[in-house]
């Protein structure tokens, strides 16, 4: 099992990044929030999960071990594959996802594309007692300067294919609705939710 990869970031795509490890470029699929934290040319470390299929080997990467562990846990539930597990972590933070499963919060879980009421109920039933085991305490993200957050999130959205105008309007609406300062990852997640899939 490949648990982590570390090396310079060669390229960043819409749904993956290529990280050079020992002279080999490894394609690592990740959420938009994780990809937004990478910079081309800079060394990065991602926690990873390797999915082995008969016809493919696919590597999924995460900014922290909690997200990776939740990704693995979600796939132990019936009907959940890596794509749906990754979608859940793209929409919800590890903390939000853990609490939704532990508390039986259908409203939060059904925010994830592909998870309806019945599948959310199944996830809660199968994972409620397991989620506390893998989801450790998630450290709160460092609150960033409002101006820096605005710039970083706008640039991330543009890199994902949205126009500058769309990006700026979305970020402004999220910041205006926020109660106090928000960290970059939280603002990006909310901005993506308002824009919908590209």
The average pLDDT across 179-193 equals 75
pLDDT-derived band of residue 129, with 50, 70 and 90 as boundaries? Answer: confident
The average pLDDT across 175-179 equals 69
Phi and psi at residue 72, in whole multiples of 5°?
-65, -45
Q: Choose the final residue of a domain: 26, 43, 62.
A: 62
For residues 129 and 162, membership in a common domain is answered with: no
Ramachandran region of residue 180, left (φ > 0), alpha (ψ -120 to 50) or beta?
Answer: left
For residues 109 and 93, membership in a common domain is answered with: yes
Spatial distance between the Cα atoms of 80 and 40, rounded to a whole number of angstroms: 32
Q: Choose the final residue of a domain: 25, 40, 62.
A: 62
**What digits encode the pLDDT tens for the residues 47-73?**
999 998 888 889 999 999 889 999 999
**What digits encode the pLDDT tens for the residues 72-90?**
999 999 889 999 999 999 9
Q: Is 108 inside a domain boundary?
A: yes
Structure pTM?
A: 0.65
Instruction: Say if residue 46's pLDDT is above 90.
Output: yes
More confident residue, 45 or 176: 45
Instruction: Say if residue 177's pLDDT is above 70.
Output: yes
pLDDT at 48: 94
The average pLDDT across 106-123 equals 91
For residues 71 and 130, membership in a common domain is answered with: yes
**What digits encode the pLDDT tens for the residues 3-40?**
899 999 999 998 999 999 989 999 999 999 899 999 99
Instruction: Say if residue 139's pLDDT is above 70.
Output: no
Q: Count how many domains the chain has.
A: 3
Domain limits for position 120: 65-134
100, 84 Cβ separation under 8 angstroms: no
Percent of the chain with pLDDT over 90: 46
List C-alpha distances in Å: 101 to 15, 70, 78, 153, 171. 25, 11, 15, 28, 28
For residues 70 and 31, membership in a common domain is answered with: no
């Amino acid at each position: 099992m490949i648990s982590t990869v570390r090396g310079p970031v060669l390229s960043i795509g819409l749904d993956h990044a290529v990280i050079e490890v020992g002279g080999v470029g490894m394609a690592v699929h990740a959420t938009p929030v994780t990809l937004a934290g990478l910079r081309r040319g800079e060394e990065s470390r991602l926690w990873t999960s390797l999915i082995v299929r008969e016809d493919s080997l696919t590597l999924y990467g995460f900014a922290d071990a909690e997200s990776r562990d939740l990704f693995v846990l979600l796939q132990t539930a019936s009907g959940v594959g890596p794509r749906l597990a990754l979608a859940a972590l793209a929409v919800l933070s590890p903390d939000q996802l853990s609490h939704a499963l532990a508390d039986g919060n259908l409203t939060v879980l059904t925010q994830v594309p592909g998870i309806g009421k019945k599948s959310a109920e199944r996830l809660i039933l199968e994972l409620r007692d397991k989620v506390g085991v893998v989801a450790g305490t998630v450290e709160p993200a460092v609150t960033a300067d409002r101006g820096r957050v605005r710039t970083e999130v706008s640039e991330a959205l543009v890199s994902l294919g949205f126009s500058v105008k769309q990006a700026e309007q979305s970020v402004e609406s999220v910041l205006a609705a926020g109660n106090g300062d928000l960290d970059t990852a939280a603002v990006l997640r909310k901005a993506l939710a308002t824009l919908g899939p590209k």
